[in-house]
Amino acid sequence: MRFLRYLRKSPTAKNASASYFATLSMGVSAFVSIPIAVHFLKKEEIGLWAVVSAVVNYLTWMDLGIGDGIGRKIAASVAAKDRAEINRWWTVSIFALSLLGMLLVVVGGALTPWMISVFEVPSQLTSQAYILFLGSIVLVGIGLPYRGAPGLLTAQQRFHWVSLAQGIAPWISILFFYLTLRSGWGMVSYVAGMAATVVFTGILYGFLIYRGPEKPGWDRRGVTVGRLKELLGLSLNISVMGIVEAVFSTLPAIILARYGGLAAVPIYTITSRVPMFLAGLVRRTLWAFYPRLLRLHVTDQREALLRKHRYVGLLTAAVALIAAGGVLGFNRMIVELLAGPGFYAGAATDAVLACIVLLDPVSRVFLCLLYLSGTMGRVALVSVMAIVAAVIFSVFSYRHLGLPGLAGAMAILPLAMGTYGYFQGRRGGNFKRGEVSLASAAIAAGGCGALVLLSVVFPGIWESGGNALQIFGKAISIPGAATVAIACILISAGGFLGFNSLRRLRG
């Protein structure tokens, strides 16, 4: 009962529980979509669907980071209950997002024929490809102004509503996706599901803002060149980081579509579905605490901020260890159960993806220092350099090492951004050397080093034990004893560390 009261009253606990719900919900819905897509669509069609999803991820960052940046800019006004400043920051953000939404539709529509040509879409899929691209572009443009709402809710410490919306929306999308597929709409069903999500999100966010404690109003005096510059000074860097992250998460699909053909795309994307889901779940651990960290920063509670940041980092590393163990132990079984053995990218790819699950969330522990300080430095330049390196490395490694090499390129972004986040975030927040804990980074580095060493010394260590388990009429491969033992070690270590970190956070 004490835990339930804590969950109900604590903003951080509500954020954490809602964030985990969102990630679990999005992950489960993504898994449910796999057998649906495999049943109704061919491999090339699934590949095109994955490519369109990648383009949609890029387009959502046409908001230039304003959706995230407004939360940082409006936080001080919300804490001070300065309604005039809240209105002005809200007005300038919605004004800018609306203009960008219209620009997105125009530019995206003009680029659609080029995108269809670049990905060499087969002639029999061209008409559906046009509907997919154009429909997605229009819907993203319509939904762009909604992106200001999560920033306001974060500043009000009501971020749990954002997570709840993110958790419910995928099920609305998948329901319309399934119903329209059954009705014979084919790949166009993706647009139907996306449209249902846009409508749901708009209605929910509108209601939450209307019923909120500081309901923002419209004040034209907020639309000034100076305020736009100040907002964009932060948000442009966030936007570049967001675009780079979107590129990294979808780069394998783009590389495969270009050099391996559309039919090769679902092999990697389905194999990486569980690892990316788990990495997202771990990231939620960190971002669930972000509103509280932001409040400690803007109210100048330095000692409390550093202490909480340390234990949030350790908790993030702990959950990452558990997730990496889960990838090693169960990913192949899940892929074969959902889609079949023909969609599994191999044990070596799993081992690389387990390292990504460790590195990516822990890098955000230091990246969040940039958001807290509000001084992004040269993060845009670092991001662009990282993406150029990743593209070059992806093409080279895919041609020489296949899918494991392609997966390895995904480590470049967390390594680059985590390192830069530590140094620039420390400088921007005026933290002295040694004040910002590196313990979480040491845990992630040690885990990845151990996995790489084992792979080099014992190349076949991650292979299946040769036995199979019959589930729903399918033969599902059982992992070998060595893989199970290593997975259990990672999960046990993560559980022990996580329990201690949670105890310190509540202390």
Residue 193, class by beta-carbon neighbours within 10 Å (0-12 exposed, 13-18 middle, 19+ buried)? buried
Cα–Cα distance, 376 to 391 (Å, whole number): 24
Greatest Cα-to-Cα distance within the chain, rounded to the nearest angstrom: 70
DSSP, res 216: -
Q: Look at residue 377 in the predicted model and tell me its pLDDT.
A: 65
DSSP string, 128-160: HHHHHHHHHHHHHHHHGGGGHHHHHHHHTT-HH
Report whether 383 contacts 417 (CB < 8 A): yes
Torsion of CA 146, 147, 150, 151, to 10 degrees: -130
pLDDT in tens, 54-97: 777 777 766 667 776 777 778 778 877 888 888 888 888 888 88
Tell me what pLDDT residue 3 has: 39
Q: How far is CA 6 from the centre of its chain?
A: 28
Distance CA(393)–CA(188), nearest Å, equals: 34
The pLDDT assigned to 328 comes to 92
In the chain, which stretches have pLDDT less than 70?
A: 1-16, 61-64, 68, 233-234, 236-238, 241-242, 374-377, 465-466, 472, 507
* DSSP 8-state secondary structure symbol assigned to residue 431: P
Amino acid code (one letter) for 59? L
SS3 477: strand
Helix or strand or coil: residue 272?
coil
Two tokens, residue 172: 């609305």
Give Cα separations from 466 to 367, 456, 478, 479 (angstroms). Answer: 42, 21, 7, 8
pLDDT tens digits for range 11-65: 666 666 777 787 778 878 888 888 898 888 888 888 888 888 877 777 776 666 7
Which pairing describes strands 474-479 and 464-471: parallel, antiparallel, or unpaired?
antiparallel
Sequence length of the chain is 507
Three-point CA angle 490, 491, 494, nearest 5°: 85
Concatenated DSSP letters of 212-259 = STT-----GGG--HHHHHHHHHHHHHHHHHHHHHHHHHHHHHHHHHHH
Instruction: Answer yes or no: are the C-beta atoms of 324 and 462 closer than 8 Å.
Output: no
Interhelix angle 481-506/302-338, rounded to 10 degrees, is 150
How many Å apart are CA 109 and CA 66, to the nearest integer? 22
User: In this structure, is the dihedral angle defined by the CA atoms of residues 323, 341, 250 and 452, taken in order, positive or negative?
Assistant: positive
- Sequence-distant (6+) residues with CB within 8 A of 345 are 267, 268, 271, 272, 403, 407
User: Of 359, 345, 326, which Cα lies nearest the Cα of 406?
Assistant: 345
Inter-residue contact 417 to 275 (CB < 8 Å)? no
332 contacts 284 by C-beta, under 8 angstroms: no
- Of 49, 151, 50, 142, give the one whose Cα is nearest residue 104: 142
Rounded to two decimals, what is the model's pTM?
Answer: 0.71
Given a contact cutoff of 8 angstroms between Cβ atoms, the answer to whether 309 and 293 are in contact is: yes
Rg, Å, the chain Cα set: 22
User: What is the model's pLDDT at position 455?
Assistant: 85
For residue 38, count other CB atoms closer than 10 A to its CB: 18
CB 343 within 8 A of CB 271: yes
* Letter string b/e over residues 372-388, b meaning 16 or more CB atoms within 10 A of that residue's CB: bbbbbbebbebbeebbe
Which class for 219: exposed (0-12), middle (13-18), buried (19 or more C-beta within 10 A)? middle
Residue 151 in contact with residue 71, Cβ under 8 Å?
A: yes
